[in-house]
Chains A and B, each alone.
Chain A
Amino acid sequence: MDITTTLVEGRTTLVLNGRFDAHEGPQFEAEFAALSAHLTDPTGGPEGGIVNFDLGEVGFIDSSGLAQLVRCHKALAAAGHQMRIVDMSSAVKVILEMTKLDLVFGTADQPVP
């Protein structure tokens, strides 16, 4: 899985591309740790406290991938930030809707209140 973090006009976005399963865990954790370090920098927090996740090119996600997203959600909430999924593939959409995790993660259409 390819992971890139972009910072455009104060908006932080984590863009994932590929399979998101247990094999990708260490790489994802490392990327998110780097992002978290940036977030804790008082001069570099995300705009509006929102961190975007672009899952539009994730062709497969399993429970390990979901667990990683849940960890991000909890870590961001603990740091006073919010997670928002700005795009998701149909494979991700099906799983999030089936597990009702779409109610946990904010989406571009349906932000968490």
Chain B
Amino acid sequence: MAGSALIDDLAQRLNESNDRLLALFDLVSVEVRSLDASERIQRIISVAQRLLNADAIAVSGPFPVSTGRVNPDGYCHSEFPDVHDGPAIRVDVGRFSSPFLSPEKKLIGAMSSLISNSVRSHQLHEQMVAQEVVGREHELAAQLAQGVLPSAGDTPSVDGLSVFGETRPAKSAGGDLFTWALVDGGLGFAVGDVSGKGLPAAVLMSTVVNAVNEAFRNQPAAGPETVMEVVNRWVWRLLSEAGMFVTLIIGRFDLATHTVSLVNAGHSPAVFQLPPGEADGGPARRVHATAPPVGILADISPNVWSTRMDEGSVLVVGSDGLTEQMDRHDVMFGEERFDRLVSQVSPVPTAAELGRRIFAAVDLHAGATTQGDDRTLVVLRRGLTHAKRS
């Protein structure tokens, strides 16, 4: 080859090489240019056609795209089964001038991988969008379910009795519940915890609250054991074989006798504190469960616990999210600490302030540790005096 011809040939090869480098740059840049899968694949095969001098490229699968004359003779093809149980992606590349060399076959493989990844990322994006929509719908449904709980300004007014109730869900779709209602001659109240998490727990929670409220309304003179029986039958029929259950305390404060009575079905113990007097009130007493949670057995017969609430007496009914809250050393708040806390804060004259102090103590214990479970608290305090121990 003459010198000038050699230089021309080298120049031409250099230009081709530069063109190929630019084409390769185009190829790897396609991913970030567009989010539309079909457009991305179209660009990839267009650049690949230039790089390979291919006569035709065809992509089959979720986004079929082709370019050039389609003729299967002598084609090289790659097939990529979709890792997400979708249809396989097949890429066919054809060239009639010469067979593909080994480096070109590698380029075809790389191009096929790029197309497969584009399809996969598109599918993932679609899934994420769908999950986000479902998640928001669940969130909304859970918020609606929470709407059955008494609101902050919905505290019943009972002569000589200070009342507080609040629930703080760990996730917005919580399973803790509380409710109350004025009944014949007093106040009916309930605190419970539905097994499980998420939307199913929130939906069941709202159902139980409605069942309790309905029982308070239909049988306003009934004792807590009767209300529990009614609610258990309702929930048991509803849950059937689902295996969910609800731990529940139902109580009643009688205005005439200043007596509080309650039944505990599988719930963490209620805590009762006598007023601080000469005997200093003594340690807090626990009112343990005497029956399994509602929804498991067709009939349950919890024992009725009852006591007179003299002025300054405090009844605290909480959920296990309070006593089981961990600190940063993985130490639980615990029942003993909870009992001592109730004893310490019981002289606080209002149930609302008492409740706030209990929540604050658990918050302090948790520190930066994530709230592990829903926290619910109902406090009844008789009278407005007694501050000797504060």
By a beta-carbon cutoff of 8 Å, the part of chain A in contact with chain B is 22, 63-64, 66-68, 70-75, 78, 98-101, 103-104
Whether, in the assembled complex, B226 has its beta carbon less than 8 Å from a beta carbon of chain A, the answer is no
Q: Is the pair A67, B244 in contact by a Cβ cutoff of 8 Å?
A: yes
Also in contact, A98 and B289, with CB within 8 A (given A63-B193, A63-B196, A64-B196) = yes
Which B residues are in CB contact (< 8 Å) with A64?
Answer: 195-197
Inter-chain CA distance A34–B3, complex, in Å, is 81
Which B residues are in CB contact (< 8 Å) with A22?
Answer: 196-197
Inter-chain CA distance A67–B193, complex, in Å, is 12
Whether, in the assembled complex, B291 has its beta carbon less than 8 Å from a beta carbon of chain A, the answer is yes
Q: Is the pair B289, A100 in contact by a Cβ cutoff of 8 Å?
A: yes
Whether, in the assembled complex, B241 has its beta carbon less than 8 Å from a beta carbon of chain A, the answer is yes
B386 to chain A, nearest CB (A): 31
Which B residues are in CB contact (< 8 Å) with A70?
Answer: 195, 243-245, 296
Q: Is the pair A101, B292 in contact by a Cβ cutoff of 8 Å?
A: yes
Q: Is the pair B195, A66 in contact by a Cβ cutoff of 8 Å?
A: yes
Q: Is the pair A67, B289 in contact by a Cβ cutoff of 8 Å?
A: no
22 A-B residue pairings within 8 Å (CB atoms): A63-B193, A63-B195, A66-B195, A67-B195, A67-B196, A67-B244, A67-B245, A70-B244, A70-B245, A71-B243, A73-B296, A74-B241, A74-B296, A75-B243, A78-B241, A98-B266, A98-B268, A100-B265, A100-B266, A100-B289, A100-B290, A103-B291
Give the secondary structure class of A's interface: helix
Also in contact, A99 and B244, with CB within 8 A (given A63-B196, A104-B297) = no
CB-CB contacts of B312-336 with A at 8 A, as 1s and 0s? 0000000000000000000000000
CB-CB contacts of B219-243 with A at 8 A, as 1s and 0s? 0000000000000000000000111
A39 to chain B, nearest CB (A): 15
B179 to chain A, nearest CB (A): 20
**How many residue pairs, one in A and one in B, have C-beta atoms under 8 Å apart?**
59
Whether, in the assembled complex, B168 has its beta carbon less than 8 Å from a beta carbon of chain A, the answer is no
Which A residues are in CB contact (< 8 Å) with B195?
Answer: 63-64, 66-67, 70
Inter-chain CA distance A100–B266, complex, in Å, is 6
Q: Is the pair A101, B243 in contact by a Cβ cutoff of 8 Å?
A: no
A32 to chain B, nearest CB (A): 11
B61 to chain A, nearest CB (A): 31
Which A residues are in CB contact (< 8 Å) with B371?
Answer: none
Known A98-B289, A100-B290; 12 more pairs at CB < 8 Å:
A64-B196, A66-B245, A70-B243, A70-B296, A74-B241, A78-B241, A98-B268, A98-B269, A99-B293, A100-B265, A100-B266, A104-B296
Which A residues are in CB contact (< 8 Å) with B289?
Answer: 98-100
Other-chain residue from B243, B265, B267, B291 in contact with A68 (beta carbon distance below 8 A): B243
A28 to chain B, nearest CB (A): 12
A22 to chain B, nearest CB (A): 7
**Residue in chain B with minimal CB distance to A74:** B241
A70 to chain B, nearest CB (A): 5
Q: Is the pair B243, A67 in contact by a Cβ cutoff of 8 Å?
A: yes
Inter-chain CA distance A64–B195, complex, in Å, is 6
Which B residues are in CB contact (< 8 Å) with A100?
Answer: 265-266, 289-293
Q: Is the pair A98, B288 in contact by a Cβ cutoff of 8 Å?
A: yes
Which B residues are in CB contact (< 8 Å) with A66?
Answer: 195, 245
B370 to chain A, nearest CB (A): 15
**Residue in chain B with minimal CB distance to A99:** B266
List CB contacts (< 8 Å) of B244-260 with chain A: 244-245, 247
A90 to chain B, nearest CB (A): 15
Inter-chain CA distance A66–B247, complex, in Å, is 12
Which B residues are in CB contact (< 8 Å) with A101?
Answer: 266, 292-293, 296
Which A residues are in CB contact (< 8 Å) with B244?
Answer: 67, 70
Inter-chain CA distance A21–B97, complex, in Å, is 65
CB-CB contacts of B116-142 with A at 8 A, as 1s and 0s? 000000000000000000000000000
Inter-chain CA distance A67–B200, complex, in Å, is 13
A95 to chain B, nearest CB (A): 10
Which B residues are in CB contact (< 8 Å) with A74?
Answer: 241, 243, 296
